Structure 1
């Protein structure tokens, strides 16, 4: 019966289109391109020899998840010396493990704008996963990209800007795989909301399908596919397909996106695995490019013999609905990175894992278990502390309120300041609600992207430790209800004298499975700030948040400083104290835009409206990406809207300037000679080359121009500057709005007072192109292209232009 259903799905699954054809469709793309092992040639040969020795049943086993000690498992084949695969969450920690580190979130990492720290975080993450015997780490995350500020999982990824996200993903993947762990880039593609991400049952037991992300071709390429291209070019081992539908077709059986875009256009050489429960067919999914079904059974912890894959794979080969060549390719894709990373010689799985993953016994296959509770943390806390500070953004600092200068008295307020009271693991049912837990600081958010803390340094703990050095009197109230409802008259008698400085800590919970319902910080945050600020005329607000926050109190004259500290991980308190006292000069920049009001954002995820909750229409859930390319700062710039704090913005305890912009051409092959500011001999489309190389056409990645600027520290203390380059492409004739400016380069440099340094931004062909939907090519537009260098998306210090194609 499963085979029949799958055959029907294969016939019709890719022909379903969005209700409004203007937003795009999913035309069928078959067959699934085979891997050539490009870049992994020796491992590819080993995988070929391995596949040649497999039986039909063993082949089915290798593409189907099973019960086991890890979050995801591929069973062992002892006769061939294969010990199986252990797949573990997640993007910032080996989630459920003991004695492992909890690193800053992807959002925090992006806010650092520091390639070196991104890479080192990846190296350390990879080392911890490997030390626990995990072969595959289910991260990093580039989808959700962050189309909607309300997205419950935006914090797992990096930024709504595809360029910044692409760089962060690439550095993370290279670091992780340098340590010997397979990275799994997720979730492919258009996964931008939690609401209705999975099918549901109507009141009359009709299956209501997952939300369909209806995306036009240009938007898909220039926004949502862009960071996946970076990941593929970096050699990522695996990619996870998403829960949602794309233009009407489920992501894990969408042949246009998996066969056409990922394996065809981007030349992806690794394997595609399903998100857990994201497989909805057997034959249709396999032929559309899905290589591995997770967790295997149709339901979590269900019957191992009930699977869309498993024995149905063998049956499908026997009846001709799936070719043996396709199944062999699936296994080649799985085993090539395994051999490339030398995972046939690997640490055993931590013996504590079966107890932590108790939903999935008994095991159908033998897994090699080692010692329990292996400590893999090493000295990674130093990087965690540094990155927590580097990802903290100073938004306001009136009269040099910060850094603190040995105040005699200090008040600490807000339920985010103290230690947690409900345990150190944020994935339990107690935390799966709109606001999370009430008391305790927020070092990380919830769901499969969280981590099990082995310890946590709270802000209050670190503040008291540091304040003791100065003899500062530290008083505190952590009850937001008391602070917000009773006002100063209700708590002023408890805090005497009025502190010289008051620190208010706010938090915003977010989690997989839930979209946020508002953009202000939680737990009566505005009331807390207004109350404390009316009592204390030197109030510093610090936010720990699973996303961006609007700040209606930002212009309050008694709010003298604001720090967006994001999700800093286990060293949270130490990271923020380093900033507050000036041991670290803040250098974080916003990886998103903070609007003046929540209503200024141009869209939100589809919510559980009464009509949709009660619908009997299986295809009722449609999310039309009508904004196209105009998300985050691109939206605000295009419509010339004022914002509170723009993308790329962040203050420092020193000042920087920029001068001397210059543009040089590389002279690489690309059509014509004599590269220059007004060269007319360059073809608009890339040279015809092998387009199956990882990352796509290699010509897209060749440097065409380098933009040079000089950055100087004009202040009195050492600090790190983040110069940024934005490209302004002309409007193209397809009628869809082209953003006014798009990020196409950044760097982070430490400068001493008075020191200056020259910085070069390389511009690849891809950076200067748009996706031409008619030609189905990346195309450089004719006419002048603006080059804007500065310190944020609205702080340009140097400008120039080039005309690549006349």
Structure 2
């Protein structure tokens, strides 16, 4: 109880002292110690463990070292501790052999299916554990998706914080149920790859990383929101990001680490740096960083910001050993909580794959090589790939296909890859070799090593053989767009399938929102000869579709990044084995220029700057990203957030809004902070009830969505017209009806008051809008919580 009293007092002190104005990052010290809330037994084990360590051993446990994994904490054999193995990433054990490559986070979000997202996390966790990895570096909620040009948006879920928060907590629950620690990343404001790290100018001056400058209300209601879900779900660690936030580097920003994360959200685990995102020793430790990865300073394998510097700082009095003890407790508590002292050995082939470092000595016990951890996960990967495919257009019920006599398959995304099954590469400009072959995942540390890949063409051929369908194909985009390039296709197919793709990767941002490799010309060329052209996109993010209204384009499917079962997933949807139920987790605008509200700064002037602090990204759009922007300015779009068609039809009725408590105060009750923040923020205050009915003639699933319209707040940044605050995937037989309930928590009904430094329910009417997308609203009402 004494620990909770201290925690409550510290929260009160910090809330009064850290009111944040735009583009500043006030200091918040000291770093609050963990008290092991919800992990009490493991915390006691960790405390006992720490009491038996020397100072040098403590310093070792907070410092990465070379080893068989992507990230390694060395063992302490004297106390029976072998160490900690960390592996990428958010959709697969990135570099492992005989492991599955799951659908991307973007695909999971497009499914809007809690159960499938949880299962994805559980099965990924089983594979990480089977390979001996204690920590999975994921899931991703930063970048949130401020800009569609972001190179890593596909690793996360959606630019909507509510949808992303739900997907994050389901993933964390699943992975940690399997016994693997999650590392929720990248914290915070990490919304671009351009200038994410400092570099050198032409005159060898250090140019600092981009600073994401975010106002206090926006950081709470947008970028911190899904991290709160993740902390409440019990994530073991949080990875801090490369960028600066309001002028201070993410891994030594005391406001975001000590203030927001450890105090306001009550985070009990450890903060680990992104690889080489540490720029200081004692300053970073005091600001809230608990673990430095990979440990050695780049180019200096025997030097580290932590390690011996931690020992020296304690000995010379510049760092309190109690803070080092807290760092080790934070690291070891999840280890004991998940019973990782009893754990499979690291795959013996791993050192061969982790070739970034020269030969080294390590304390880990290696097991057998090339352990097959894929189990029966292929079917659920196939299921999620189909569930995350969004049907955007279906003129005259073109789909599902019904045993056509002839099919034409076109585009460089349809066939097999020609440059290997490991999508590790960097920017689009550097990876022109990825021109040929379907895109199951994108590149960088969020990728995976495929053990096999089912391509769309392969799966279409197999299905065509069942139906005695003639399947013709041309996969060369350059040939397709040349005059006469399609002359070898005869007869003209009854159905023409065009497969497009958009590459993206860690390390660079996208240069266009159109699909790559002359995609518009490919569609137009095929549609000119085929009046039944179906376009399928595999994309690392959203695509604008300048060909969408071509009358010969009769159907459009956004298939995102489905993973290793790509071809099977899309054929399941094309032929109606699976009734499409995916919904867009972002907005598709009419024109690329419509996304200018969140440009990623990349001007020639900045590229050539000699000003160390020139890279400033001011989030002036505040809360108005994606559909919030388009709705606020009444701007037309091509396909709105939450949109997705089905092979059947649905309706909603009987909107009812019921309070669950009476006498609601606009302010949350004072309460000891627990993981996720003030527990009263998670109290359900209202329940929205509706009836959903399948009004068509085939079974199918749909996603009713609840949006709230909160009043505008005087003197604040603009409040969005509508914000998502509830959804549920519902499977219904023809004619079947079902009552669906949507709980609304205090947090759902509140805004962040920058003066009070607290969540407040606004006075006046709150609108409730229910429908099947952000603009397909079927039912509306309002209610008043606070007069």
Into which bin does the TM-score normalised by the smaller protein fall? over 0.9
8 Å contact 1:23–1:626 — kept in the other structure?
Answer: no
Q: Alpha-carbon deviation of 1:359?
A: 1.4
The reply on whether 1:590 has 2:589 as its aligned counterpart is: no
Q: Alpha-carbon deviation of 1:682?
A: 2.4
The reply on whether 1:287 has 2:289 as its aligned counterpart is: no
CA distance in 2, matches of 1:96, 1:506: 26
Q: Deviations over 1:70-127 (max 9, x none)?
A: 0000001111111100000000000000000000000000000000001000000000
CA distance in 2, matches of 1:25, 1:206: 24
Q: Alpha-carbon deviation of 1:609?
A: 2.1
Task: Look up the SS of the partner of 1:608 in the other structure.
Answer: coil
Q: Alpha-carbon deviation of 1:440?
A: 0.3
Picking from 685, 690, 693, the partner of 2:672 is: 690
Q: Alpha-carbon deviation of 1:800?
A: 1.4
Task: Look up the SS of the partner of 2:437 in the other structure.
Answer: coil
8 Å contact 1:68–1:361 — kept in the other structure?
Answer: no
Relative to 1, partners in 2 of residues 1:746 and 1:435: Cα closer, same or farther, differing over 3 Å?
farther
Task: Look up the SS of the partner of 1:491 in the other structure.
Answer: coil
Q: Deviations over 1:332-384 (max 9, x none)?
A: 00000000000000000000000000112332432110000000000000000
Task: Look up the SS of the partner of 1:485 in the other structure.
Answer: coil
* 1:628-639 → structure 2 map (5 Å cutoff): 628-639=622-633
Q: Alpha-carbon deviation of 1:434?
A: 6.3
8 Å contact 1:448–1:512 — kept in the other structure?
Answer: yes
Matched with 1:10 is none
Matched with 1:335 is 332
Matched with 2:228 is 229
Task: Look up the SS of the partner of 2:486 in the other structure.
Answer: helix
Q: Alpha-carbon deviation of 1:428?
A: 4.0
Task: Look up the SS of the partner of 1:603 in the other structure.
Answer: helix
Matched with 1:390 is 387
8 Å contact 1:176–1:182 — kept in the other structure?
Answer: yes
Picking from 636, 655, 673, the partner of 1:642 is: 636
Task: Look up the SS of the partner of 2:258 in the other structure.
Answer: helix
8 Å contact 2:534–2:554 — kept in the other structure?
Answer: yes
Matched with 1:134 is 133
* 1:543-622 → structure 2 map (5 Å cutoff): 543-622=537-616
The reply on whether 1:728 has 2:709 as its aligned counterpart is: yes
Matched with 1:419 is 416
The reply on whether 1:151 has 2:146 as its aligned counterpart is: no
Picking from 657, 660, 683, the partner of 1:663 is: 657
Relative to 1, partners in 2 of residues 1:430 and 1:455: Cα closer, same or farther, differing over 3 Å?
farther
Task: Look up the SS of the partner of 1:504 in the other structure.
Answer: strand
CA distance in 2, matches of 1:63, 1:95: 24
Q: Alpha-carbon deviation of 1:605?
A: 4.2
Relative to 1, partners in 2 of residues 1:421 and 1:624: Cα closer, same or farther, differing over 3 Å?
same
CA distance in 2, matches of 1:716, 1:659: 19
CA distance in 2, matches of 1:593, 1:606: 18
Instruction: State how many pairs are aligned.
Output: 768
CA distance in 1, matches of 2:127, 2:212: 35
Matched with 1:485 is 482
Matched with 1:185 is 184
Task: Look up the SS of the partner of 1:23 in the other structure.
Answer: coil
Q: Deviations over 1:451-485 (max 9, x none)?
A: 00000000000000001111000000000001123
8 Å contact 1:23–1:625 — kept in the other structure?
Answer: no
CA distance in 2, matches of 1:433, 1:639: 38
Matched with 2:469 is 472
Instruction: Output the TM-score relative to the length of structure 1.
Output: 0.94
CA distance in 1, matches of 2:247, 2:126: 40
Structure 1's unaligned 5+ residue stretches are 1-20, 668-674, 676-680
Q: Alpha-carbon deviation of 1:653?
A: 0.1
Q: Deviations over 1:245-265 (max 9, x none)?
A: 000000000000000000000
CA distance in 2, matches of 1:450, 1:406: 35
Q: Deviations over 1:181-203 (max 9, x none)?
A: 00000000000000000001000
Cα RMSD (Å): 1.1
8 Å contact 2:598–2:621 — kept in the other structure?
Answer: no
8 Å contact 2:498–2:534 — kept in the other structure?
Answer: yes
Task: Look up the SS of the partner of 2:629 in the other structure.
Answer: helix
Q: Alpha-carbon deviation of 1:801?
A: 1.0
Q: Deviations over 1:514-542 (max 9, x none)?
A: 10001000000000000000110000000
8 Å contact 1:432–1:511 — kept in the other structure?
Answer: no
The reply on whether 1:310 has 2:291 as its aligned counterpart is: no
Q: Alpha-carbon deviation of 1:22?
A: 6.2
8 Å contact 2:428–2:503 — kept in the other structure?
Answer: no
Matched with 2:690 is 709
* 1:31-430 → structure 2 map (5 Å cutoff): 31-299=30-298, 302-428=299-425
8 Å contact 1:586–1:652 — kept in the other structure?
Answer: yes
